Amino acid sequence: MSPKDHVAVRLDNLTLERVDALKDVLSTAWHEATRSDILRALILSGLENFEQQHRSALAKPKKGSAPEPAGGGARPKAKKKAAPKG
């Protein structure tokens, strides 16, 4: 994913009004906050909150996933063997 991937969500009018109400709080003298700015701030702070609340569940390996190799690095890719001629 690139750092500028776009995501669309549908929000009801009441939620959008609540988001828009935060515009003055998040605006600065040099930048007027947009809905995207506000939603990004809400997602990032909410994501951090949920990660803290559910850190034990996030630390558990998922079923069917292989354990990460020691050292935390990526696994080296296996080299393909040449098919025998004949």
Rounding to the nearest 10 degrees, give the CA dihedral for residues 35, 33, 45, 10. 0
Cβ neighbours, 10 Å, residue 42 = 14
Average pLDDT, the chain: 82
What percent of the chain lies above the pLDDT cut of 70?
A: 72
> Which tens digits make up the pLDDT trace of 11-22?
999 999 999 999
Domain borders along the chain are: 34-59
> Which tens digits make up the pLDDT trace of 6-45?
888 999 999 999 999 999 999 999 999 999 999 999 999 9
